Amino acid sequence: MTTDEMIVRLKSAQVERRFKHTLGVAAEAVRLAPRFGVDPERAYIAGLLHDCAKNFTDEQVKDYCERYGVTLDPYCKTEKALIHGFLGATVARVDYGIEDQEILDAIYYHTTGRPNMTPMEKLIYIADMTEPGREIEQSQQIRELVEIDIDEALIYAIGCSIKHVIRKGNLIHPDSIFARNDLIENRRRSS
Ligand SMILES: [Fe+2]
Ligand SMILES: [Fe+2]
Protein backbone atom coordinates (compact mmCIF):
# COMPACT_ATOMS: atom_id res chain seq x y z
CA MET A 1 0.00 0.00 0.00
CA THR A 2 1.34 3.46 -0.87
CA THR A 3 1.38 6.24 1.72
CA ASP A 4 -1.28 8.07 -0.32
CA GLU A 5 -3.52 5.00 -0.04
CA MET A 6 -2.82 4.87 3.70
CA ILE A 7 -3.89 8.51 4.01
CA VAL A 8 -7.16 7.85 2.16
CA ARG A 9 -7.94 4.94 4.46
CA LEU A 10 -6.96 6.84 7.62
CA LYS A 11 -9.07 9.83 6.59
CA SER A 12 -12.16 7.67 6.34
CA ALA A 13 -11.39 5.82 9.59
CA GLN A 14 -10.65 8.81 11.81
CA VAL A 15 -12.61 11.85 12.98
CA GLU A 16 -11.27 15.14 11.59
CA ARG A 17 -9.36 16.16 14.71
CA ARG A 18 -7.61 12.78 14.93
CA PHE A 19 -6.78 12.80 11.22
CA LYS A 20 -5.20 16.25 11.57
CA HIS A 21 -3.14 14.95 14.49
CA THR A 22 -2.12 11.93 12.39
CA LEU A 23 -0.79 14.15 9.59
CA GLY A 24 0.88 16.37 12.19
CA VAL A 25 2.71 13.46 13.80
CA ALA A 26 3.80 12.10 10.39
CA ALA A 27 5.22 15.50 9.40
CA GLU A 28 6.86 15.98 12.79
CA ALA A 29 8.40 12.48 12.61
CA VAL A 30 9.92 13.35 9.22
CA ARG A 31 11.23 16.66 10.55
CA LEU A 32 12.86 15.00 13.56
CA ALA A 33 14.01 11.80 11.80
CA PRO A 34 17.59 12.98 11.05
CA ARG A 35 18.06 14.01 14.70
CA PHE A 36 17.14 10.45 15.73
CA GLY A 37 19.11 8.78 12.93
CA VAL A 38 15.92 7.29 11.49
CA ASP A 39 15.07 6.99 7.79
CA PRO A 40 12.49 9.77 7.10
CA GLU A 41 10.35 7.59 4.81
CA ARG A 42 9.92 4.94 7.50
CA ALA A 43 9.37 7.66 10.10
CA TYR A 44 6.59 9.07 7.92
CA ILE A 45 4.83 5.69 7.74
CA ALA A 46 5.16 5.11 11.50
CA GLY A 47 3.79 8.61 12.17
CA LEU A 48 0.86 8.10 9.81
CA LEU A 49 -0.11 4.78 11.36
CA HIS A 50 0.66 5.32 15.05
CA ASP A 51 -3.02 6.00 15.89
CA CYS A 52 -4.55 3.72 13.22
CA ALA A 53 -6.52 1.83 15.89
CA LYS A 54 -7.59 4.89 17.87
CA ASN A 55 -11.30 5.17 18.69
CA PHE A 56 -12.07 1.62 17.64
CA THR A 57 -15.39 0.47 19.06
CA ASP A 58 -15.43 -2.37 21.61
CA GLU A 59 -16.83 -4.54 18.80
CA GLN A 60 -13.91 -3.72 16.50
CA VAL A 61 -11.38 -4.40 19.25
CA LYS A 62 -13.02 -7.75 20.00
CA ASP A 63 -13.20 -8.62 16.31
CA TYR A 64 -9.50 -7.88 15.62
CA CYS A 65 -8.41 -9.72 18.76
CA GLU A 66 -10.40 -12.81 17.81
CA ARG A 67 -9.48 -12.79 14.13
CA TYR A 68 -5.76 -12.21 14.59
CA GLY A 69 -5.17 -13.92 17.93
CA VAL A 70 -4.23 -10.73 19.76
CA THR A 71 -4.02 -11.01 23.53
CA LEU A 72 -4.29 -7.55 24.99
CA ASP A 73 -2.11 -6.50 27.89
CA PRO A 74 -4.04 -6.94 31.20
CA TYR A 75 -3.86 -3.18 31.87
CA CYS A 76 -6.10 -2.64 28.84
CA LYS A 77 -9.06 -4.02 30.80
CA THR A 78 -9.34 -0.79 32.78
CA GLU A 79 -7.09 1.60 30.86
CA LYS A 80 -8.85 1.71 27.50
CA ALA A 81 -6.53 4.43 26.19
CA LEU A 82 -3.73 1.85 26.01
CA ILE A 83 -5.59 -0.44 23.61
CA HIS A 84 -4.99 1.56 20.44
CA GLY A 85 -1.20 1.31 20.68
CA PHE A 86 -1.05 -2.43 21.35
CA LEU A 87 -3.77 -3.23 18.81
CA GLY A 88 -2.50 -0.62 16.36
CA ALA A 89 0.56 -2.70 15.54
CA THR A 90 -1.70 -5.57 14.40
CA VAL A 91 -3.97 -3.22 12.44
CA ALA A 92 -0.94 -1.67 10.70
CA ARG A 93 0.22 -5.15 9.72
CA VAL A 94 -3.06 -6.66 8.51
CA ASP A 95 -4.85 -3.58 7.12
CA TYR A 96 -1.92 -1.49 5.90
CA GLY A 97 0.52 -4.26 4.95
CA ILE A 98 3.37 -3.13 7.22
CA GLU A 99 6.01 -5.79 7.82
CA ASP A 100 8.77 -3.52 9.13
CA GLN A 101 9.08 -4.68 12.75
CA GLU A 102 10.63 -1.41 13.91
CA ILE A 103 7.61 0.51 12.63
CA LEU A 104 5.23 -2.00 14.22
CA ASP A 105 7.08 -1.75 17.56
CA ALA A 106 7.01 2.05 17.42
CA ILE A 107 3.22 1.87 17.06
CA TYR A 108 2.92 -0.81 19.77
CA TYR A 109 4.89 1.15 22.37
CA HIS A 110 3.88 4.71 21.50
CA THR A 111 1.56 5.13 24.50
CA THR A 112 3.66 3.38 27.15
CA GLY A 113 7.29 3.43 26.06
CA ARG A 114 9.47 0.54 27.27
CA PRO A 115 13.02 -0.02 28.46
CA ASN A 116 15.72 0.04 25.81
CA MET A 117 13.62 1.90 23.25
CA THR A 118 14.85 1.96 19.65
CA PRO A 119 15.47 5.33 17.94
CA MET A 120 12.26 4.80 15.93
CA GLU A 121 10.25 4.17 19.12
CA LYS A 122 11.72 7.28 20.76
CA LEU A 123 11.00 9.33 17.66
CA ILE A 124 7.31 8.41 17.47
CA TYR A 125 6.82 8.81 21.23
CA ILE A 126 8.24 12.35 21.00
CA ALA A 127 6.58 13.34 17.69
CA ASP A 128 3.20 12.33 19.16
CA MET A 129 3.71 15.00 21.82
CA THR A 130 5.37 17.73 19.77
CA GLU A 131 3.37 17.81 16.52
CA PRO A 132 2.19 21.40 15.97
CA GLY A 133 -1.51 20.74 16.63
CA ARG A 134 -0.86 19.13 19.99
CA GLU A 135 -2.04 21.48 22.69
CA ILE A 136 -0.09 20.37 25.70
CA GLU A 137 1.83 23.06 27.49
CA GLN A 138 4.97 20.95 27.74
CA SER A 139 5.30 20.51 23.94
CA GLN A 140 7.63 23.47 23.54
CA GLN A 141 9.86 22.28 26.38
CA ILE A 142 10.08 18.80 24.79
CA ARG A 143 10.89 20.36 21.39
CA GLU A 144 13.71 22.37 22.90
CA LEU A 145 15.10 19.40 24.84
CA VAL A 146 15.14 17.21 21.70
CA GLU A 147 17.61 19.63 20.12
CA ILE A 148 19.92 19.31 23.12
CA ASP A 149 19.54 15.70 24.28
CA ILE A 150 17.05 13.13 22.96
CA ASP A 151 17.02 11.00 26.11
CA GLU A 152 16.50 14.04 28.36
CA ALA A 153 13.55 14.97 26.16
CA LEU A 154 12.18 11.47 26.50
CA ILE A 155 12.61 11.38 30.29
CA TYR A 156 10.71 14.65 30.47
CA ALA A 157 8.01 13.52 28.01
CA ILE A 158 7.41 10.23 29.81
CA GLY A 159 7.25 12.14 33.09
CA CYS A 160 4.58 14.42 31.58
CA SER A 161 2.55 11.38 30.49
CA ILE A 162 2.85 9.73 33.90
CA LYS A 163 1.75 12.94 35.66
CA HIS A 164 -1.21 13.20 33.27
CA VAL A 165 -2.24 9.63 34.13
CA ILE A 166 -1.89 10.38 37.85
CA ARG A 167 -4.02 13.53 37.53
CA LYS A 168 -6.75 11.46 35.90
CA GLY A 169 -6.53 8.90 38.70
CA ASN A 170 -5.72 6.08 36.28
CA LEU A 171 -3.31 3.15 36.53
CA ILE A 172 0.24 3.80 35.37
CA HIS A 173 1.43 1.15 32.94
CA PRO A 174 4.64 -0.37 34.40
CA ASP A 175 6.43 -0.10 31.03
CA SER A 176 6.28 3.68 31.36
CA ILE A 177 8.03 3.50 34.73
CA PHE A 178 10.55 0.95 33.43
CA ALA A 179 11.20 3.12 30.35
CA ARG A 180 11.89 6.18 32.48
CA ASN A 181 14.06 4.26 34.96
CA ASP A 182 16.05 2.73 32.11
CA LEU A 183 16.78 6.15 30.59
CA ILE A 184 17.79 7.61 33.95
CA GLU A 185 20.06 4.64 34.72
CA ASN A 186 21.71 4.99 31.31
CA ARG A 187 22.25 8.68 31.95
CA ARG A 188 23.90 7.93 35.31
CA ARG A 189 26.13 5.26 33.77
CA SER A 190 27.35 7.62 31.06
CA SER A 191 27.95 10.64 33.32
FE1 LIG B 1 -1.90 7.32 20.35
FE1 LIG C 1 -1.22 10.19 18.67
Name the residue ranges covered by the structural domains of the chain. 3-190
pTM of the model: 0.96
| C-alpha to C-alpha distance for 70 and 87, rounded to whole angstroms | 8
Distance of CA 120 to the CA centre of its chain: 10
| C-alpha to C-alpha distance for 190 and 186, rounded to whole angstroms | 6
Confidence of residue 156 (pLDDT cuts 50, 70, 90): very high
Q: Which distant-in-sequence residues (6+ apart) come within 8 Å of 180 by Cβ?
A: 113, 155, 158, 159, 162
Q: If you measure from the C-alpha of residue 25 to the centroid of ligand 1, how many angstroms do you get, rounded to a whole number?
A: 10
Q: If you measure from the C-alpha of residue 160 to the centroid of ligand 1, how many angstroms do you get, rounded to a whole number?
A: 15
Q: If you measure from the C-alpha of residue 81 to the centroid of ligand 1, how many angstroms do you get, rounded to a whole number?
A: 8
Kindly state the percentage of the chain with pLDDT values over 90: 95
The CA-atom distances, in angstroms, between 168 and each of 55, 161, 179 are 19, 11, 21
| C-alpha to C-alpha distance for 6 and 100, rounded to whole angstroms | 15
Place domain 3-190 in its CATH homologous superfamily: Hypothetical protein af1432 (1.10.3210.10)
Confidence of residue 9 (pLDDT cuts 50, 70, 90): very high
CB atoms within 10 A of CB 44: 18
Comparing CA positions, the residue from 102, 95, 91 lying closest to residue 41 is 102
Give the mean pLDDT of the chain: 96
pLDDT of residue 115: 97
pLDDT of residue 162: 97
Confirm if 141 and 111 have CB atoms less than 8 A apart.
no
Q: If you measure from the C-alpha of residue 48 to the centroid of ligand 2, how many angstroms do you get, rounded to a whole number?
A: 9
Q: If you measure from the C-alpha of residue 39 to the centroid of ligand 1, how many angstroms do you get, rounded to a whole number?
A: 21
